[in-house]
């Protein structure tokens, strides 16, 4: 294992949902953390995700775009590990904005790889996604399962992953790809199903469900994902590998809603069922045995506990007049 304590690392998209949790554990570990984030207007309130670190001499925030190669090159000086979390997320948003998704997720990733190569970064950890699998016929899915994305978002994340792996093959770049499965938790994105359902109920509205609600997801708690991401940077001998990072248990959206009802002590509320959107898929369920075996990763937070922590955070965020 490589000890990252005292090392300079870069987190692209470090003000975002997953990126900011990763920053928390990297700072705790004693890393010198550089965040590059353009605070994209996909959703607002990200400043609060990282406010606790402002003023810490080991924390450096750079507002900027991964599409700016010169900036990336400059920011990567002396960086040993790059955690590439910046992306245009959101399947529905990307359906409406495929060009932006392509630019940020594909061209942006290419820039990160090029600058990392020039600056001789020791390892890149790329945030890939379960959406690269698209429609699947058997479960759980392991890393060998064919990739067949059914949305522009999934296509861009797969292209990013392929660029990473080709840079490993052609230039010998040390890169590891993590396919995150339905990440949720405090500081979550407002477009995510759990956020949207809980937010509507906390503000006196009926939760909205797209489709029948029988779609199943392998919901994975954000601190478990941050932990896996750190392990992927520390574990030696895994360059060019991909890992599924999912809890390993699936729930339907209707089951998730029941857990939310229980957690929030809500009774007698009928969800509003709307037409499903294109690019949505029926089921995700990770076979995470490779990550368990190779990274020594053990997801710890089950859905009931994760939902409890999330609702507590959202409630507090709304009382403070925004996200916290």
Ligand X SMILES: NC(=O)c1ccc[n+]([C@@H]2O[C@H](COP(=O)([O-])OP(=O)(O)OC[C@H]3O[C@@H](n4cnc5c(N)ncnc54)[C@H](O)[C@@H]3O)[C@@H](O)[C@H]2O)c1
Q: How far is the CB of 270 from ligand X (least distance, A)?
A: 27
**Does 153 participate in catalysis according to the annotation?**
yes
The CB-nearest residue to ligand X is 16
- Interatomic CA distance for residues 111 and 113, integer angstroms: 5
Nearer to ligand X, 252 or 266 (CB): 252
Please write down the HEC assignment for all residues of the chain: CCCCCCCEEEEECCCCHHHHHHHHHHHHHCCEEEEEECCCCCCCCCHHHHHHHCCCCCEEEEECCCCCHHHHHHHCCCCCEEEECCCCCCHHHHHHCHHHHHHHHHHHHHHHHHHHHHCCCCEEEEEEEHHHCCCCCCCCECCCCCCCCCCHHHHHHHHHHHHHHHHHHHHCCCEEEEEECCEECCCCCCCCHHHHHHHHHHCCCCCEEECCCCCEECCEEHHHHHHHHHHHHHCCCCCCCEEEECCCCCEEHHHHHHHHHHHHCCCCCCCEEECCCCCCCCECCECCHHHHHHHCCCCCCCHHHHHHHHHHHHHHHHHCCCCC
Complex with ligand X: residue 154 or 207, whichever CB lies closer: 154
* Active-site pick, 69, 93, 153, 171: 153
Q: Positive or negative CA dihedral for 63, 64, 65, 69?
A: negative
If the CB atoms of residues 88 and 119 are measured against ligand X, the closer one turns out to be 88
Q: How far is the CB of 34 from ligand X (least distance, A)?
A: 12
Q: Which is nearer to ligand X, 106 or 209 (CB)?
A: 106
CB of 6 to ligand X, least distance (A): 26
Q: What are the residues binding ligand X (CB under 6 A)?
A: 12-13, 15-19, 36-40, 42, 46, 65-67, 85-89, 104, 108, 127, 129, 157, 180, 182-183, 189
Tally the C-alpha atoms within 13 A of residue 208's C-alpha that lie toward its C-beta.
Answer: 15
Contact between 279 and 91 (Cβ < 8 Å) = yes
Shortest CB 62 distance to ligand X, Å: 9
Q: Which is nearer to ligand X, 70 or 172 (CB)?
A: 70
Q: How far is the CB of 301 from ligand X (least distance, A)?
A: 14
The least distance separating ligand X from the CB of residue 212, rounded to whole angstroms, comes to 21
Kindly tell me the sign of the dihedral angle through the C-alpha atoms of 168, 110, 145, 142. Answer: positive
The residue (of 94 and 201) whose beta carbon lies closer to ligand X is 94
Active-site residue list: 153
């Amino acid at each position: 294992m490589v000890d990252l304590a005292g090392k300079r690392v870069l987190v692209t998209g470090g003000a975002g949902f997953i990126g900011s949790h990763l920053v928390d554990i990297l700072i705790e570990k004693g890393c010198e953390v550089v965040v590059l984030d353009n605070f994209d207007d996909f959703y607002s309130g990200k400043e609060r995700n990282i406010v606790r670190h402002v003023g810490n001499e080991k924390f450096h925030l750079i507002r900027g775009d991964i599409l700016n190669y010169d900036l990336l090159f400059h920011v990567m000086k002396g960086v040993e590990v790059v955690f590439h979390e910046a992306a245009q997320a959101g399947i529905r948003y990307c359906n409406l904005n495929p060009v932006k998704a392509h630019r940020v997720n594909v061209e942006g990733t290419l820039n990160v790889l090029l600058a990392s190569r020039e600056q001789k970064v020791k390892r890149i950890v790329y945030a890939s996604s379960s959406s690269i699998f698209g429609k699947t016929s058997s479960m759980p899915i392991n890393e060998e399962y064919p990739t067949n994305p059914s949305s522009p978002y999934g296509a861009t994340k797969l292209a990013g992953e392929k660029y990473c792996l080709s840079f490993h093959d052609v230039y010998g770049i040390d890169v590891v790809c993590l396919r995150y499965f339905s990440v949720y938790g405090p500081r979550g994105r407002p477009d995510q199903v759990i956020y949207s359902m809980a937010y509507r109920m906390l503000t006196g509205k009926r939760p909205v469900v797209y489709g029948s609600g029988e779609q199943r997801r392998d919901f994975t708690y954000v601190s478990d994902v941050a932990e896996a991401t750190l392990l992927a940077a520390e574990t030696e001998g895994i360059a060019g590998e991909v890992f599924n990072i999912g809890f390993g248990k699936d729930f339907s959206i209707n089951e998730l809603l029941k857990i939310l009802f229980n957690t929030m002590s809500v009774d007698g509320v009928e969800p509003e069922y709307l037409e499903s959107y294109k690019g949505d898929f029926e089921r995700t369920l990770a076979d995470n045995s490779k990550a368990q075996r190779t990274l020594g990763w053990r997801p710890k937070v089950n859905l009931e506990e994760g939902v409890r922590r999330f609702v507590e955070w959202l409630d507090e965020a709304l009382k403070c007049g925004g996200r916290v």
